[in-house]
Amino acid sequence: MRLSQMLFVTLREDPAEAEIPSHKLLLRAGYIRRIGSGIYAYLPLMWRVLQKVSQIVREEMNATLAQECLLPQLQPAELWRESGRWDTYTQAEGIMFALKDRQERELGLGPTHEEVITTIAKEMIRSYRQLPLHLYQIQTKFRDEIRPRFGLMRGREFIMKDGYSFHADEESLKKTYQDMHQAYSNMLRRSGLSFRAVQADSGAIGGSGSQEFMVLAEAGEDEVLYTEDGQYAANVEKAVSLPADAENSIFTSYEKRETPGTDTIEKLCKFLKSSPTQVVKNVLYQAVYDNGMTVLVLVIIRADQEVNEVKLQNELTKLSGNYGGKTLLFLTVPDAEAQQKWAAKSLPLGYIAPDIGDDYIASHKQVNSKFLRLVDHTAVDLKNFVTGSNESSYHVVGANWGEQLKLPENVVDVRKARPGDRAIHNPAQTLQSARGIEVGHIFQLGTKYSKAMGATYTNEQGEEVPLVMGCYGVGVSRLAQSAVEQSYDKDGIIWPVAIAPYHVIISIPNVSDAAQLQAAEQLYDQLNEAGIETLLDDRNERAGVKFKDADLIGIPYRIVTGKSLKAGKVEVVERATHKAQDIALEEVVPTLKQWIDAAVS
RNA sequence: CGGGGUGUAGCGCAGCUUGGUUUAGCGCGUCUGCUUUGGGAGCAGAAUGUCGCAGGUUCAAAUCCUGCCACCCCGACCA
């Protein structure tokens, strides 16, 4: 491609809309253009990058014998009602763009494709002989994100590879899951990314095991906790660890004490000169289930620990049935306004005890009349601890479960693991923290969707049983941007060779010099013939402009047909290092070919 | 949705507090000509704006008031 004929517009200044380096650079270098919030045009250079990434993804998927297909983006609401996700996807998270057609039929713009694929499986898979089966597609997904961010990192329209596998049993699922783990590792390695596979929460997708593939970068939205020995890595949402040991209580007998102005743990501990590990805090949450039922949840946890809201949500979702709901819609810490809606009298905020009376909850059809009390493991073994008294300005000290306070029945793990905590597999290891960009996520779904939608097959025994499923996603456009986030310098993007839009750019310092022009044209033809993707900067610009642009757009190798031409040589510069060397004209193609092959393999 | 912020030329910004001196300006980019030609050149000239939108106040509004819209940042969501 000749730059003189290309839509090529670079910016000298950072666009005001961009915050993180990769977003600024993609805009400045003319790869993308914002059309609306979370909606971007992929311009020609970007599209080539996305094609490269897609191709790597495709090759790795095909190597596992997965089959490519293309599913509809316009999806009938009834499919989503069947799986039970229409409400959660259009109401709670509200992530699906929902619309009506001229017949008033409800449709959704596909945020994911479990429903469509399960329908196909239901209709087409009859026998165990057809299993296992793995279908995937690469296409645009639509999600009405609560907050689109950082360009392609979190768009409302983005390119994703999603794959769905069907199995006769868990064992077969695990095999494919392992294959996917390998395929995903290959994709990211081939794309030139530094990454880590971590244990993950399955979230709204559901199912049992899942792992995320995190591209390590400071701008990442996720926190990863891992150990140096490489034995453990998990998303902070999912991570488990051993908490620090509790200190011995300084109190020996039960007593109610006046503790004025101690509505935070910090103030309380200072006042009592007690360690927060000897304090039980009681955190109030408000859960709303899909049947409209509100449940007040009291989380009882050691005061030096924090509540992991993802774990809490999972616990509450498990309990949905107790309240007549199917799923949890909202989980919030009720503010003063929210409290007014159900509180029978004003709450002793900051002084709540584990046994706070259910008479604080006014009688209301849509509000459960009792607190749901969940006690975290960290609070269970404490002796002579400090906690609230249900009376403002008073706490109790020296309290014990089974004596002054009854230990609630629901003992759970809702504690947030933190960097510095000891690891469970080996307490000598401590958790380290890193930021990551989630570019891939693989799930063992099990029979969640197949059961809900009646997707069954006939097994060897002639019984009709639900299909066992897995699903596997890669954010193709996100992956491309995270490559930039991981690889740039003050001059611009440094694309990994495997996903660069072009391998080589030939910069002609002076287009009015016939010798330079002729040498460049000849090299351009030779490189293209050799299958090396080449840009020719034949614009009538000064050399400095061309060098700046070449660096900005991040093409791995730059050829300059300049001074050394007299000696029958051109200068070849590696973008990543700016290392330059003169190479004889006839050696250029074989040399570059070798470099590129080495970089891509 | 809650909190914070911004909308002025393709991009980055000033002007707004204290309405009139602005036929609305600066830098970059764009166009024309000449010179220059190895790290975003110089000189000369030129074009480009519903000042986010709609009302209102006023003799007079980019500037003051009201409403709306869009976008960005912090939190819940996720590939």
For residue A207, what pLDDT band results from cuts at 50, 70 and 90?
low
Cβ atoms A290, A327 nearer than 8 A = yes
A93 touches strand B (CB under 7 A): yes
pLDDT higher than 90, residue A203: no
Nucleotide closest to A478 measured between CA and C1': B79
Q: Which stretch of DSSP H or E encloses residue A395?
A: strand A394-399
Interatomic distance A111 CA / B72 C1' (Å): 25
* Distance, CA of A297 to CA of A220 (rounded, Å): 31
pLDDT at A264: 87
- Binning pLDDT at 50, 70 and 90, where does residue A204 land? low
What type of residue sits at position A24?
K
Tell me, what amino acid is at A453?
Answer: M
Helix, strand, coil percent values for chain A (each to nearest 5): 30, 30, 40
Contacts of A587 (CB under 8 A, 6+ apart): none
Q: Which of A147-161, A192-206, A310-324 has the highest mean pLDDT?
A: A147-161
Query: Residue A333 — very low, low, confident or very high, per pLDDT cuts 50/70/90?
Result: confident
Q: Which of residues 32-61 of A touch strand B (CB under 7 A)?
A: 34, 36-38
Nucleotide nearest to A476 (CA to C1'): B79
The reply to whether the CB atom of residue A578 sits less than 7 A from any atom in nucleic acid chain B is yes
Task: Give A582 CA → B79 C1' in Å.
Answer: 43
Distance A23 CA to B53 C1' (A): 29
Residue A580 host element (H or E): strand A580-584
* Residue A206 reports pLDDT greater than 80: no
Q: Nearest nt (C1') to A510 (CA)?
A: B37
Domains of chain A, start order: 17-72+111-240+433-484 (3.30.930.10), 255-412 (3.90.960.10), 502-600 (3.40.50.800)
Say what the pLDDT of residue A327 is: 80
Report the C-alpha gap between A380 and A596 in whole angstroms. 60
- Tens-digit pLDDT profile for residues A567-576: 999 999 999 9
Rounded to whole angstroms, the distance from the CA of residue A519 to the C1' of nucleotide B42 is 29
pLDDT tens-digit readout, A574-583: 999 999 999 9
Residue A231 C-beta-side C-alpha neighbours within 13 Å: 12
SS3 A430: strand
Is strand B less than 7 A from the beta carbon of A377?
no
Query: Which residues are CB-contacts of A17 (< 8 A; sequence separation ≥ 6)?
Result: A27, A34
ipTM of this predicted structure: 0.95
Residue with CA nearest B11 C1'?
A: A11
Å between CA of A537 and C1' of B76: 47
Assess whether pLDDT exceeds 80 at residue A367.
yes
Q: Which nucleotides of B are covered by protein (CB under 7 A)?
A: 1, 11-13, 27-29, 36-41, 70-79
A33-47 pLDDT per residue, tens: 999 999 999 999 999
> In chain A, which residues from 534 to 553 place their CB closer than 7 Å to nucleic acid strand B?
542-545, 547-549, 551-552
